[in-house]
Amino acid sequence: MALSVLKYPASGLRKKAAPVEKIGEEIFNLVEAMIETMLTEDGLGLAANQVGKDSRIFVLNTTPREEQPQSMAFINPVVLHQEGEVKGEEGCLSFPELYLDIARPEKVRIYAKDLYNEGFILDVAGILARAVMHEMDHLNGILFIDHAADTDRENLQKYLAGLAKEVEVREER
């Protein structure tokens, strides 16, 4: 069952997620729903706080350019190492139709638990490194707009002003 993705300025997007204490049926169901939501929304990754859940979990489509997506869950993830820096276009399901050039590490090594409480280490580069760091930021209450370059600030302010107007209109109804 697909979940609703929180849109900015929802306060849950700025909340730091809490560590998962126990991996059981509730976490299995959440991860399954997050994967379905990510794929339905055509996303590359999705953090639990983007769907209103206060858990240090994100999911990632590890085969973004292939027809058959392969998804992974990262529970209580920790970045072990990062290197290089590359600027690239980035979007976010919580900010529909907004794309910004963001500097991210070129390579990332991450440690996390899987759904069976087994620890694993994964080395990623390129777009997957970008996605991992984007989702890690979400889990820490940091949004990609926080990394916007000065050259994007004017367009970002217009976008955010438009969102604020949409929220006002919805609240008036």
- List Cα–Cα distances, 12 to 9, 22, 116, in angstroms: 9, 22, 27
- Has 92 been labeled as part of a binding site? yes
- Token pair listed for 40: 């339905």
The H-or-E segment that residue 80 falls in is: strand 71-83
Q: Where are the alpha helices (DSSP H) in the chain?
A: 25-40, 127-139, 153-172
DSSP class of residue 94 equals T
135 a catalytic residue:
yes
Give the integer Cα–Cα distance in Å for 70 and 117: 19
- Has 81 been labeled as part of a binding site? no
- Has 138 been labeled as part of a binding site? yes
**CB neighbours of 94 closer than 8 A, spacing ≥ 6?**
5, 6, 7, 8, 10, 13, 50, 143
Specify the residue for token string 């590890």.
62
Catalytic one of 26, 97, 106, 135? 135
Q: Known catalytic residues? A: 135
Annotated binding site: 92, 134, 138
Annotated binding site for Fe cation: 92, 134, 138
